[in-house]
């Protein structure tokens, strides 16, 4: 038994430990994935029995010609562009301010992280109140009279502000961990050599922090591509005024749950999956080059 | 100069903290206003009398006790299940040698990239066939594993020297005994951290419970709160009082066990 070489016996033994996880994973992840691909290619099927009578690319073709799907992709990209860069930069800023703060760092960290632990539905409902046109706090603070949740020109911005506020804490936490990994001695040497604070940040901290920045950005991109709960709660089960907040996941939900168009929904889900794979692949390539560059540097 | 810089840092951080806290403060303030009058009041003019009875009214208007029970049951069972299945699999991947170990592990990690929203469609159809729609099984069974939890625990289990394992085995302990009497107690902080993260996710989950349940008997708190909005309409004090019900348990849990949650997130995201 102590022999580290695998055999039929050790494999069966290990399978006993793996079985619970594997069974559930196969039933609710692997099989559904295959099933989703099949559904997306089904052009004629029975919603209740799931029996498919004809296959083809018609669902993807329908997506290509569906103005609502175009809107969903457009909004998702716009929304992600609105949230992610701002969230990453702000989180980096706060993390730098918090890093090695003499007092109360823990206290501030707790406050910034609060939105992450609270239910998305709950905070979205609170923000729905803040965004009220007549007596809302947002209008009260910036002295405007915008109908945030009913004006299609502003409703996506409202969603962006909510998600930005909500995502900050998590990103700050990851940045703080990344900053902690940077060896103090680099910064000390730079300081002894007369580098200014900005030079120390730009030539020492930033290059060493780049992998963390990429990791946080990728994570934020993927999370925001899938935005749903906030839309549903902020606009009370609709996609915003004149569909102005129709996102990819909301489109999937509409097609599947409201309109029973399973094939279209599955196809749009696969498009979402494609987007996630693309971003992950790009990040993977970057990390591959980065580690190779590190190794070359070490030699 | 140096003092000024530090002071500036605190000022900026405090401003940010106010922005983070404002919605929570507002939630509590509005929940104590006289019901059904806030829409006629100017933004910052509050009544100074505190209307605690809003909480009692909100609690009575919808079966919040039932929602609480459902949320507690679902969160406890899914978190427990996830920890159990992940601990077993993490042990196999960190301590046992078997055919296809690397391939299987990489395959599982690759699966984490699939968006849950895509899987929701076929899973819903499966549950329909099983007649599980509107049952606790639908809320619990698909969530009894977590590859993320398995990965985090495996990373933690790998940090223990193999010699400890071999010593225990030579002393006559079985794998099962070593896992539950040595490895699990040694890794209690990590297991707590992972469990807390999963519990937060489960407590706040919205899309899945929304889709697989439609009877009030099975609603979890977030779904119950969402349906409550259609009952209250523009009666924001009652709605905010109900929101406080949903938010408070996790806030308490977070404030009490913050260090584990923070450690769990940084460990899982920045390793490997």
Question: Number of residue pairs across A and B with CB atoms under 8 Å?
Answer: 270
Residues B250, A111: C-beta atoms closer than 8 Å: no
Containing A103, the helix (H) or strand (E) segment is none
Structure tokens at B12: 């900026």
CA separation for the pair B65, B46 (Å, rounded): 30
According to the model, what pLDDT value does residue A47 have? 61
pTM: 0.91
pLDDT tens digit sequence for A12-50: 999 999 999 999 999 999 999 999 999 999 887 766 666
A45 DSSP 8-state letter: E
Whether the per-residue pLDDT at A260 is higher than 60: the answer is yes
Whether the per-residue pLDDT at A248 is higher than 70: the answer is yes
Looking at the fold, whether A91 and A231 belong to one and the same domain comes out as yes
| Interface confidence (ipTM) of the complex | 0.90
Structure tokens at B154: 């495996």
CA separation for the pair A259, B192 (Å, rounded): 42
Every domain of chain B and the residues it spans: 32-41+54-270
Looking at the fold, whether A31 and A136 belong to one and the same domain comes out as no
According to the model, what pLDDT value does residue A143 have? 87
Looking at the fold, whether A210 and A130 belong to one and the same domain comes out as yes
From A56, A81, A96, the end of a domain falls on: A56
Lowest mean pLDDT among A30-34, A145-149, B205-209: A145-149
Tell me the mean pLDDT in the region B52-57: 89
Residue bearing the bigger pLDDT, A292 or B198: B198
Torsion region of B168: left, alpha or beta (phi above 0 gives left; psi -120 to 50 gives alpha)? alpha
Nearest-CA distance from B15 to chain A in Å?
11
Residue bearing the bigger pLDDT, A159 or B5: A159
CA distances from B169 to A4, A12, A231, B172 (A): 13, 18, 54, 5
Candidates A10, A114, A229; nearest CB to B96: A10
Residues A177, B99: C-beta atoms closer than 8 Å: no
Candidates B88, B97, B117; nearest CB to A20: B88
Tell me the mean pLDDT in the region A134-156: 89
Tell me the mean pLDDT in the region B135-159: 94
Q: What is the mean pLDDT of chain A?
A: 90
DSSP string across B59-128: HHHTTHHHHHHHHHHHHHHHHHHHHHHHHHHHHHHHH---TTHHHHHHHHHHHTTS-HHHHHHHHHHHHH
B101 touches chain A (CB under 8 A): yes
β-strand pairing of A52-55 with A42-45 = antiparallel
Looking at the fold, whether A102 and A133 belong to one and the same domain comes out as yes
**A223 domain-assigned:** yes
Candidates A2, A25, A257; nearest CB to B169: A2
Looking at the fold, whether A74 and A176 belong to one and the same domain comes out as yes
pLDDT tens digit sequence for B159-194: 988 899 999 999 999 999 999 999 999 999 999 999
Looking at the fold, whether A106 and A208 belong to one and the same domain comes out as yes
Candidates B20, B86, B99; nearest CB to A21: B86
Total domains present in chain A:
2
Looking at the fold, whether A268 and A148 belong to one and the same domain comes out as yes
Residues B222, A262: C-beta atoms closer than 8 Å: no
pLDDT tens digit sequence for B62-80: 899 999 999 999 999 999 9
According to the model, what pLDDT value does residue B45 have? 62
Whether the per-residue pLDDT at A232 is higher than 50: the answer is yes
Candidates B20, B26, B210; nearest CB to A114: B20
A134 DSSP 8-state letter: T
Looking at the fold, whether A173 and A291 belong to one and the same domain comes out as yes
- A119 contacts in B (CB within 8 Å)? 203-204, 206, 221-222, 225, 246-247, 250
Candidates A8, A24, A249; nearest CB to B117: A249
Containing A42, the helix (H) or strand (E) segment is strand A42-45
Whether the per-residue pLDDT at A145 is higher than 90: the answer is no
Residue A40 lies in domain: 8-56
CATH code (residue A228): 1.10.3720.10
Tell me the mean pLDDT in the region A220-229: 94
According to the model, what pLDDT value does residue A1 have? 45
Whether the per-residue pLDDT at B137 is higher than 60: the answer is yes
Residues B115, A272: C-beta atoms closer than 8 Å: yes
pLDDT tens digit sequence for A163-221: 999 999 999 999 998 998 888 888 899 989 989 889 999 988 998 898 899 999 999 99
Structure tokens at B9: 């840092």
**A202 domain-assigned:** yes
Angle at B78 between CA B267 and CA B142, to 5 degrees: 105
Residues B44, A140: C-beta atoms closer than 8 Å: yes
Whether the per-residue pLDDT at B272 is higher than 50: the answer is no
Question: Is the distance from CB of B250 to CB of B203 less than 8 angstroms?
Answer: yes
Residues A117, B126: C-beta atoms closer than 8 Å: no
May I ask the CATH class of domain B32-41+54-270? mainly alpha
Tell me the mean pLDDT in the region A247-255: 96
- A126 contacts in B (CB within 8 Å)? 23-24, 26-27, 240, 243
Whether the per-residue pLDDT at A59 is higher than 70: the answer is yes
According to the model, what pLDDT value does residue B109 have? 93
According to the model, what pLDDT value does residue A137 have? 86
CA distances from A204 to A185, A195, B166 (A): 11, 10, 44
Looking at the fold, whether A118 and A178 belong to one and the same domain comes out as yes
Looking at the fold, whether A49 and A109 belong to one and the same domain comes out as no
A-contacting residues of B 104-143, CB under 8 Å? 104, 108, 111, 113-126, 128-129, 141-142
At residue B3 the predicted structure's pLDDT band, cuts being 50, 70 and 90, is: confident
According to the model, what pLDDT value does residue A158 have? 96
According to the model, what pLDDT value does residue A136 have? 83
Looking at the fold, whether A294 and A171 belong to one and the same domain comes out as yes
**Greatest mean pLDDT range, A98-112, B33-47, B203-217:** B203-217
pLDDT tens digit sequence for A68-113: 999 999 999 999 999 999 999 999 999 999 988 888 888 898 899 9
Looking at the fold, whether A234 and A263 belong to one and the same domain comes out as yes
Whether the per-residue pLDDT at A3 is higher than 70: the answer is no
B184 touches chain A (CB under 8 A): no
Tell me the mean pLDDT in the region A107-125: 92
B103 touches chain A (CB under 8 A): no
Q: Where are the alpha helices (DSSP H) in B113-161?
A: 116-129, 136-140, 147-158
Counting residues of chain B whose pLDDT is more than 90, the rounded percentage is 67
């Amino acid at each position: 038994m102590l022999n580290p070489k695998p055999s039929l016996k050790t494999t069966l033994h290990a399978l006993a430990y793996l079985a619970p996880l594997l069974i559930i994973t196969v039933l609710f992840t692997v099989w559904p994935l295959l099933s989703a691909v099949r559904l997306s290619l089904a052009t004629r099927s029975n919603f209740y029995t799931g029996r498919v009578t004809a296959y083809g690319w018609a669902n993807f073709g329908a997506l290509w010609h569906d103005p609502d799907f175009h809107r969903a992709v457009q909004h998702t990209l716009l929304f992600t562009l609105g949230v992610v860069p701002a969230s990453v930069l702000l989180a980096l800023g706060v993390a730098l301010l918090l890093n090695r703060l003499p007092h109360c760092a823990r206290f501030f960290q707790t406050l910034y992280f609060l939105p992450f632990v609270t239910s998305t539905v709950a905070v979205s409902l609170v923000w729905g109140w803040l965004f009220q046109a007549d007596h809302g706090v947002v209008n009260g603070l910036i002295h405007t009279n915008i109908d945030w949740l009913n004006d299609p020109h502003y409703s996506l911005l409202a969603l962006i502000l909510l998600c930005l506020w909500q995502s900050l804490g998590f990103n700050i936490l990851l940045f703080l961990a990344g900053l902690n990994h940077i060896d103090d001695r680099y910064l000390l040497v730079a300081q002894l050599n007369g580098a200014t604070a900005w030079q120390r940040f730009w030539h020492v901290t930033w290059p060493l922090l780049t992998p963390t920045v990429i990791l946080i950005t990728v994570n934020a991109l993927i999370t925001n591509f899938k935005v749903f709960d906030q839309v549903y709660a902020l606009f009370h089960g609709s996609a915003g005024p004149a569909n102005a907040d129709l996102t990819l996941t909301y489109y999937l939900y509409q097609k599947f749950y409201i309109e029973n168009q399973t094939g279209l929904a599955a196809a749009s889900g696969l498009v979402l999956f494609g987007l996630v794979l693309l971003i992950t692949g790009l990040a993977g390539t970057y990390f591959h080059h980065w580690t190779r560059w590190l190794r070359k540097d070490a030699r | 100069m140096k003092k000024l810089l530090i002071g500036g840092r605190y000022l900026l951080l405090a401003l940010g903290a106010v922005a983070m806290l404002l919605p929570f403060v507002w939630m509590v303030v509005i929940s104590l206003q006289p019901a059904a009058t806030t829409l006629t009041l100017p933004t910052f003019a509050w009544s100074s009398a505190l209307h605690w009875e809003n909480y009692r009214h909100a609690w009575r208007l919808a079966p919040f006790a039932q929602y609480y029970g459902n949320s507690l049951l679902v969160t406890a069972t899914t978190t427990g299940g996830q920890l159990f299945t992940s601990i077993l699999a993490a042990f196999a991947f960190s301590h046992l040698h078997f055919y296809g170990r690397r391939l299987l592990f990489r395959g599982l990690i690759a699966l984490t990239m699939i968006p849950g929203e895509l899987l929701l469609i076929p899973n819903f159809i499966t549950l329909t066939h099983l007649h599980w729609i509107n049952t606790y099984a639908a809320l619990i069974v698909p969530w009894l594993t977590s590859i993320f939890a398995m990965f985090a625990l495996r990373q933690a289990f790998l940090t223990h020297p193999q010699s400890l394992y071999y010593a225990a085995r030579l002393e006559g302990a079985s794998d099962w005994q070593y896992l539950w009497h040595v490895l699990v107690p040694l890794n209690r902080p990590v297991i707590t951290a992972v469990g807390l993260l999963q519990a937060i996710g489960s407590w706040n989950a919205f899309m899945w419970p929304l889709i697989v349940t439609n009877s009030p008997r099975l609603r979890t708190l977030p779904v119950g709160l969402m349906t409550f909005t259609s009952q209250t309409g523009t009666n924001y004090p009652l709605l905010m009082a109900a929101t406080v019900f949903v938010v408070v348990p996790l806030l308490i849990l977070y404030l009490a066990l913050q260090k584990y949650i923070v450690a769990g997130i940084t460990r899982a995201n920045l390793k490997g």
